Amino acid sequence: MTLLFIGGCSTSRDQSGTIEFWAVGAEGEHIRKLIPEFERRNPGIKVRIQTIPWTAAHEKLLTAYAGNSMPDMYQLGNTWIPEFVALDAILELDSLVKASETIGETNYFPGIWATNIIDGKLYGIPWYVDTRVLFYRRDLLAQVGYPEAPQTWDELLDASRRLVREKKATYGILLPVNEWAGPVILGIQAGSSLLRDNNCYGNFSGAEFRRAFDYFLQFYRERLCPLGMSQVSNIYQGFAEGFYAMLITGPWNIGEFLYRLPEDVRGNLATAVLPAPEAGQPAFSLAGGSSLVVSKKSRKKNAVWKLIEYLSEAGTQIRFYDLTRDLPAVREAWEDSVLVNNRYVAAFHEQLQMVKATPKVPEWEQIALKVQQYTESAAYGELSPEQALRKLDRNVDQILEKRRWLLSRTEE
Amino acid sequence: MNPSTRAAWLFLAPALSAITVFFFLPVIVAFVMSLTDFDIYSLADISKARFVGVNNYWNLLHDALFWKALRNTTYFVVVGVPLSIATSLGAAILLNNRFLKFKSLFRLAYFTPVVTTLVAVAVVWRYIYHPRFGLMNYWLGLFGVNPIDWLGDPVWAMPALIILAVWKNFGYNMIIFIAGLQSIPDELYEAAHIDGAGKWQQFRNITIPMLAPTTLFVGIITVIGYFQFFAEPYVMTQGGPLNSTLSIVLLMYQEGFRWWRMGYSSSIAFVLFFIVFVITLIQLKVQKSRVV
């Protein structure tokens, strides 16, 4: 009886050529406008889009997996890919890419493409990219002797000190402690691998991360950065009022800033590549963004692949940029005048040549949260930097215990 | 089995099977799960789950975050419950006053927060607590108090949530207290009045003892409810700053649904159950011995 029911269900699903596509956040809203063109070109294929909010996306996808009701394709933040590979939920795409005329590795930023490769196999196609750069108030920085953005860690610290000392801004820079991105970016820049021994243990007490951590905390020690996040619940207003003059954030904030800043401040908004630890060194940032993945259980893999190809065409990518302001993953799209003429975007283009992925283990999100928690403890002075990093490593080792067990099992 | 017993079982069967399927079975499964390391790897392949005995419980006892959550929850219960009950009782007594006009209007006003969804309420309260533009700091400022970063300061975040929770929940207990107050016969107060007892003596010697059964009920329900402190930090602070508002249930939710560490999460659920169970037993013992 039950079997009959299930059988009946899946066949009826199979006949209707509808692709189930889960997209996250604002992308889910805007993507609808690009679908009619795809459906016109591919008669017989219909696309049903479901939008899920970012805050619930991870939970919802895992729950869907547990309940065996995954969509045919979905959008995944590229740091989540290892997790879904561990679940064996997503399809390996190498053979499809090899046969494709639209999608090829060379069309993408290498650092971003690499985030989709787990153990040598490709699992996702970058859809849009993001990374973090320095946003700053050109007027305020010029007043303290920085007509150009700070280029090195020392300059960043110096500029922040001067801004505060000369009362140009209440705080120099906004480095929120409720995010893991700050310390992790600095750690990567300083050359830390974050994890060690085939990603089986934490490497946060290592000299490289330690140096980055101390540098990060210096901004709190000297009160160059606001501590309680709720003081700046409106980051745009804070920026406009000169509550702080710099922050490190992503492309989604270009539009927000331009929309929310008053006329006179808007002209002074500028973006720049992140400062490097020392002059002449590369200044890495995070390889962020979202990828499109195909559910392994999908019965419409061909149709799904057609949709991914359509979304990866330079033309579609530019239209998508127009709608969402998400930066295109396909490099050809960057040659379009919309992007070339946008002076805020140039810094991102440059930064995207220097991006690195966070360790590709399913536990990364958990680890990242621990990094954030211990950074917060150290910033509030609850723990000394050594204590915080030692405890962080111990915690991370514990999180990775299962990974070590699984690896040792496959070796036997 | 005689026919009437059989009939009784027959009538009970639907309810019993529903309880078995939707309550006992999940509880048993959860308990078994709490003895394994069921996690995201096991979700794909059950052979990747290991039976770990009481390891989860052992780790829990050595998890600083768990103790922090337990301390936070205890803080919330110890301060929040008496405050909530006192507020409810106070409001109930005021509303029970014979000379009060627009009684139903006030009752409605005090009860409204109980039925309003917390998410909507949270948006408003976030404005109230805003350190620079919030109403709360504005009022305190009138008395010369320096601005407090209510939700951003680890010291003040919990009091802020307690105030919110008390405001949100006192209406429910208030209604129960009003019912309790109305069932106290007027003759008792009249007799006490004739004997020369003042208002305060009447309150202490008539109202409080007569309300004892109601208070017991309210106390137990409130303690159980407050131990399950979840929605307020979930929508207001996500457990922050510095985990100062991380509650046990929020920790359980994060472990279970964010990280999918179901084994560990289940063990938290059972520890919480055990704590609430023991405290309720103690409460029953203490208050019963006083009532009788």
User: Among B36, B40, B127, B265, which would you mutate to test the A interface (most chain A Cβ atoms within 10 Å of its Cβ)?
Assistant: B40
Domain count, chain B: 1
* Predicted local distance difference test score (pLDDT) of residue A5: 42
The reported pLDDT for the residue numbered A234 is 73
- Residues A197, A250 within the same domain: yes
Rg (CA), chain B: 24
Is A337's pLDDT higher than 50?
Answer: yes
AA identity, residue B84? S
Any alpha helices (H) in B148-207, and if so which ranges?
157-182, 186-194, 199-202
B64-94: b or e for each residue (b if 16 or more CB lie within 10 Å)? ebbebbbebbebbbeebbeebbebbbebbee
A338-391 confidence digits (pLDDT tens): 888 888 999 999 999 999 999 999 999 889 989 998 998 999 888 999 999 999
Contact B44 A233 (CB under 8 A): no
CA distance B20 to chain A (A): 21
A97-136 per-position pLDDT tens digit: 999 988 999 999 999 999 999 999 999 999 999 999 999 9
Look at residue B292 and tell me whether its pLDDT is greater than 70. Answer: no
Domain that holds residue A297: 15-130+287-342
Backbone angles phi, psi at A332, to 5 degrees: -55, -35
Contacts of B36 (CB under 8 A, 6+ apart): B42, B49, B50, B51, B52, B263
Which residues constitute the domain of residue B211? 63-291
| A chain contacts of residue B150, beta-carbon cutoff 8 Å | 230
Cut 0.95: pTM above it = no
Q: Is residue A295 one of the residues assigned to a domain?
A: yes
| Helix pair B135-142, B118-128: axis angle to 10 deg | 40
Q: Is residue B200 situated within a structural domain? A: yes
Domain membership of residue A6 (yes or no) is no
Of B37, B154, B240, the CB nearest to A402: B37
Nearest-by-Cβ selection for A229 from B40, B152, B259: B152
Task: Tell me how far CA of residue B138 lies from CA of A248, B135, B150, in angstroms.
Answer: 32, 5, 13
Q: Is residue A5 one of the residues assigned to a domain?
A: no
pLDDT tops 60 at residue A9: no
Residues B290 and B292: their CA atoms lie apart, in Å, by: 6
Interface A–B counts its CB contacts (< 8 A) at 63
Which element (helix H / strand E) includes B85? helix B64-95
In the 8-state DSSP scheme, what is residue A331?
G
Which of A5-9, A211-215, A401-405, B183-187 has the highest average model confidence (pLDDT)?
Answer: A211-215
- What are the pLDDT digits (tens) for A217-261? 999 999 999 886 555 667 888 899 889 999 999 998 888 888 889
Instruction: For residue B161, tell me if it sits in a domain.
Output: yes
Which runs of E-coded beta strand occur in A84-219? 117-118, 121-122, 125-130, 133-137, 171-174, 195-196, 201-202
Domain assignment present for B159: yes
User: At A114, which CATH number?
Assistant: 3.40.190.10
Average pLDDT taken over every residue of chain A:
90
| Whether pLDDT at B98 is above 60 | yes
Q: Note whether A24 and A80 are same-domain residues.
A: yes
* Whether A365 and A321 share a structural domain: no
pLDDT for residue A409: 84
Among residues A403, A385, A412, A366, which one has the least CA distance to residue A197? A403
**Cβ-defined contact of A406 to B41 (cutoff 8 Å):** yes
Q: Which of B160, B150, B136, B131 is nearest to B72 (CA)?
A: B160
- Nearest CB among A63, A86, A229 relative to B41 is that of A86
Query: Are A387 and A308 in the same domain?
Result: no
Torsions phi, psi for A48 (to 5 deg): -110, 125
Q: For residue A351, tell me if it sits in a domain.
A: no
Number of domains in chain A: 2
Greatest CA separation for chain A: 78
Question: Which residues does chain B have within 8 Å of residue A412's beta carbon, measured at their own beta carbons?
Answer: none
Secondary structure class of A384 (helix, strand, coil): coil
C-beta atoms surrounding B195 within 10 Å: 9
Classify residue A4: in a domain, yes or no: no
ipTM of the shown complex: 0.70
Measured distance CA(A176)–CA(A233) in Å, rounded: 11
Q: What is the pLDDT of residue B48?
A: 86
Q: B229 and B78 in contact (C-beta within 8 Å)?
A: no
Q: Is residue A115 part of a domain?
A: yes
User: Left (φ > 0), alpha (ψ -120 to 50) or beta: where does A278 sit?
Assistant: beta
A164: closest CA of chain B, how far (Å): 20
Mean residue pLDDT of chain B comes to: 90
Which tokens in the block code for residue A42?
A: 């591919």
- Token representation of residue A188: 């990567």
Residues A281 and A375 in one domain: yes
Residue A355 lies in a domain: no
Residues A238 and A383 occupy one common structural domain:
yes
Please tell me whether residues A144 and A30 are part of one structural domain. no
Residues A69 and A139 in one domain: no
Closest C-alpha to B174, from B186, B162, B166:
B166
Domain assignment present for residue B51? The answer is no
For A158-178, how does the pLDDT look when each residue is reduced to its tens digit (9 = 90+)?
A: 999 999 999 999 999 998 888
CB contact under 8 A, B242 and A62: no
Q: Is residue A220 part of a domain?
A: yes
Cβ within 8 Å, pair A178-B240: yes
Q: Tokens 């002059």 identify what position?
A: A279
Element (H, E) at B40: helix B40-44
Q: Do A244 and A118 belong to one domain? A: no
Say yes or no: A39 and A159 in one domain. no
CATH number reported for the structural domain that contains residue B118 in this entry:
1.10.3720.10
Do residues A389 and A228 make contact, with C-beta atoms less than 8 angstroms apart? no
Q: Is some CB atom of chain B closer than 8 A to the CB atom of A50?
A: no
d(CA B116, CA B129): 19
Residues of A in contact with B132 (CB under 8 A): 231
pLDDT at residue B291 greater than cutoff 60 = no
The CA distance from B243 to the nearest CA of chain A, in Å, is: 8
Cβ–Cβ below 8 Å for A366 and B259: yes
pLDDT at B205 over 60: yes
- Whether residue B58 lies inside any domain: the answer is no
Dihedral, CA of residue A297, residue A298, residue A301 and residue A304, to nearest 10: -140
Query: What does the DSSP assignment read for A28-76?
Result: HHHHGGGHHHHHHHSTT-EEEEEEE-HHHHHHHHHHHHHTT---SEEEE
Q: What is the mean pLDDT of residues B170-198?
A: 91
Q: Is A294 helix (H, G, I), strand (E, B) or coil?
A: strand
Do A21 and A82 share a domain, yes or no?
Answer: yes
Q: How far A230 CA lies from chain B's nearest CA (Å)?
A: 5
User: What is the four-CA torsion angle of A149, A155, A158, A164, rounded to 10 degrees?
Assistant: 20
Q: Is residue B130 part of a domain?
A: yes
Question: Is residue B55 in some structural domain?
Answer: no
- Cβ neighbours for B251, distance < 8 A, ≥ 6 positions apart: B65, B66, B69, B239, B268
In contact, B269 and B249? CB cutoff 8 Å = no
The 10s digit of each residue's pLDDT in B24-82 is: 999 999 999 999 999 888 888 888 889 998 999 998 998 888 999 999 999 999 999 99
Matching residue, tokens 């050359």: A191
The answer to whether residue B28 sits within a structural domain is no
Question: A302 falls in which pLDDT band (50, 70, 90)?
Answer: very high
Same-domain status, A270 and A318: no
Instruction: Check B39 against A233: CB less than 8 A apart.
Output: no
Give the model's pLDDT for residue A16: 53
Q: Which residue of A has its CA nearest to B131?
A: A231
CA angle A294, A299, A300 (to 5 degrees): 65
CA-CA distance, B58 to B153, in Å (whole number)?
32
The CA distance from B254 to the nearest CA of chain A, in Å, is 10
